[in-house]
Amino acid sequence: MFQLQSIDRRKVLANNNLDWTDYYSVIVPEVLCNDILRVGRVVDGGKWVCNPIKIRHFKEGCVIYSFGISNELSFDEAIQNFTQQRCVLKAIDKFKQNSDTIKQLEKIRGVFKQVEIANITNQDKNQYSFSDVVSTFGDKRIEILKIDIEGAEYQVIDQILSIPICQILIETHSMKISAKKTFELIQKIAKSGFYLFAFQINGAFHPLAEYGFIHEKCFETYGLTTVYGRYLD
Are the C-beta atoms of residues 172 and 209 closer than 8 Å to each other? Answer: yes
pLDDT at 100: 94
CB 171 within 8 A of CB 148: yes
User: Is 232 a member of any domain?
Assistant: no
Report the C-alpha gap between 24 and 9 in whole angstroms.
Answer: 11
Domain for residue 155, yes or no?
Answer: yes
Q: Which residues of the chain have pLDDT under 50?
A: none
Contact 13, 196 (CB under 8 A): no
Q: How many domains, in total, are found in the chain? A: 1
| 233 falls within a domain | no
| Amino acid letter, residue 119 | N
Q: How confident is the model at residue 37, as a pLDDT? A: 94
Is residue 45 a part of any domain in this protein? yes
| Range of the structural domain that residue 139 is part of | 2-227
Residue at 135 is within a domain: yes
Indicate whether 91 belongs to any domain: yes
What pLDDT digit, counting tens, does each position of 73-84 carry?
A: 999 999 999 999
Within a domain: 152 = yes
Whether 211 maps to a domain, the answer reads yes
Q: What is the pLDDT of residue 228?
A: 93
Q: CATH number of the domain at 181, please.
A: 3.40.50.150
